[in-house]
Amino acid sequence: AQKVTQAQTEISVVEKEDVTLDCVYETRDTTYYLFWYKQPPSGELVFLIRRNSFDEQNEISGRYSWNFQKSTSSFNFTITASQVVDSAVYFCALSPGYSSASKIIFGSGTRLSIRP
């Protein structure tokens, strides 16, 4: 079964705090992609990162960082020094396999609110 679990439905923090969004996935495939997307109130999906299953190296991009651990099937996302503009719904997603027909399976999303 393919599944993505985001246990945190909503998170609210004060600006400048660090916040971590959790993501746990399930798949029997040995090759797969993991993603994080941001969805602001306007609705469009903003791509943040893609990781393939063979690349467990953590990644940092500005205030964003990702921790991929295959041993725990987790792909967590941390925002450092959060800002009000980070307020959005964040989706973790999984795409099993590398073919062009591989679909993306989304987690239920975490609504992040950053208070000034």
Partner 1 sequence: GAVVSQHPSWVICKSGTSVKIECRSLDFQATTMFWYRQFPKQSLMLMATSNEGSKATYEQGVEKDKFLINHASLTLSTLTVTSAHPEDSSFYICSARDNGVQDGYTFGSGTRLTVV
The conformation of residue 55, written as its DSSP 8-state character, comes to -
Are the C-beta atoms of 42 and 102 separated by less than 8 Å?
no
Stretch binding partner 1 (CB under 8 A), from 18-26, 37-45, 66-74, 75-83: 37-45
**Smallest distance, partner 1 to C-beta of residue 63, A:** 19
* Residue 64 in the binding site for partner 1 (CB under 8 A): no
* Residue 100 in the binding site for partner 1 (CB under 8 A): yes
Q: CB-based contacts of 112: which residues, under 8 Å, 6+ apart? A: 10, 11, 12, 13, 19, 21, 79, 82, 86, 87, 88, 89, 90
Judged by CB under 8 A, the residue of 33, 66, 77, 90 near partner 1 is 33
Least Cα distance to 32 among 51, 53, 49 occurs for 53
Judged by CB under 8 A, the residue of 95, 96, 112, 114 near partner 1 is 95
Which residues bind to partner 1, rule: CB under 8 A? 33, 35, 43-45, 47, 49-50, 91, 95, 100-109, 111
